[in-house]
Amino acid sequence: MSKLTYLLDRNDYEQYRDLFFYSFDEPETESEKEFLKREFDHSSVYGIKEDGQLQVSITCVPFKVNFFGKEFGMSGIGNVMSAPEYLQSNGVDTLMEQALTDMYRNGTTLSYLGPFSYDYYRRFGYEQVFENLQITLPFTKLARYVKPSMGHLKRYRYDQAQDIIGELFADVNTSGTIMRKTWWWKNLALWYPDDLLAVYYDASDEIHGYMRYTFHNGDFIVRDMYYQTPDAFLGLMHFINKHRSIYKNIEINSTDTNMRINNFSTNP
């Protein structure tokens, strides 16, 4: 049986798509397929074929990241997948080693991934460096902040995010955050089709804060929240409070691990 390790091209996409939906048990919806195809077209995709059939694959998505105003090349590793009959073949090890070698040759400084196993990826030099803070509390404990006397808030769909907050997002996310290109904004909107955006404007109609949020199983979920001024924070909190009669709990997620529960509750 012949085995070949190489970069996949557009002619391999159908096999790649089939392996993806088989491996991750994802619903094969039109939006999922659009997301996957766009990601494939913008990535370096590695694969091992056996007798012409794709058995193992990993995807390396090229990004730029911003560390305090300095740009670095970053390769995001994703869609690490293997056919079940090929799981013990060390095929993923082979592809990871090849991908890392190519990153080095191409001058890519960093690589990110969301690991299924920390121990496994430590073998390749990865380590946990980013943390996410999650605060969950009943709405009855959420502080009732007074609405600011100036400024206003508008709601949008998340697929409008780039046009509305794209510039602000790029300016304020400087701690290793991905510098999002248009195709990635589009893919995020496909991945989170039910997400909404609340944007706070000051009296001069300038944006000073935003919040990405959604609802799930009776909970109000804040996926991302940023505010530049006290009024922006108050405006966003006042908006959240308007939902206390509808939802039982609130979940707040943030990459700012300095955020404290007493920002949101007077009786934590």
- Sign of dihedral through CA atoms 45, 49, 54, 58? negative
Q: What is the pLDDT of residue 119?
A: 94
How much is the average pLDDT of 122-128?
Answer: 95
Residue-wise pLDDT tens digits, 175-215: 899 999 999 999 999 999 999 999 999 999 999 999 999 99
Question: Residue 218: which region, alpha, beta or left (left: phi > 0; alpha: psi -120 to 50)?
Answer: left
Integer CA distances (angstroms), 87 to 81, 84, 90, 213, in order: 9, 5, 7, 38
- Is pLDDT above 60 for 2? no
Residue-wise pLDDT tens digits, 72-95: 999 999 999 999 988 778 899 999
Q: Are strands 196-201 and 175-178 parallel, antiparallel or unpaired?
A: unpaired
Residue of 195, 196, 198 lying closest to 151 (CA atoms): 198
**Domains located in the chain, CATH noted:** 3-122 (3.40.630.30), 133-263 (3.40.630.30)
Q: What is the pLDDT of residue 133?
A: 87
Q: pTM of whole model > 0.75?
A: yes
Q: Provide the CA 143 distance to its chain's centre, in angstroms.
A: 29
Residue-wise pLDDT tens digits, 12-28: 999 999 999 999 988 89
Q: What values do phi and psi take at 150, rounded to 5?
A: -120, 160
Q: What is the pLDDT of residue 167?
A: 92
Residue-wise pLDDT tens digits, 138-180: 999 998 888 888 999 999 999 999 999 999 999 888 889 999 9
User: Cβ of 160: how many Cβ atoms within 10 Å?
Assistant: 16
Q: How confident is the model at residue 130 (pLDDT cuts 50, 70, 90)?
A: confident
Average pLDDT, the chain: 92
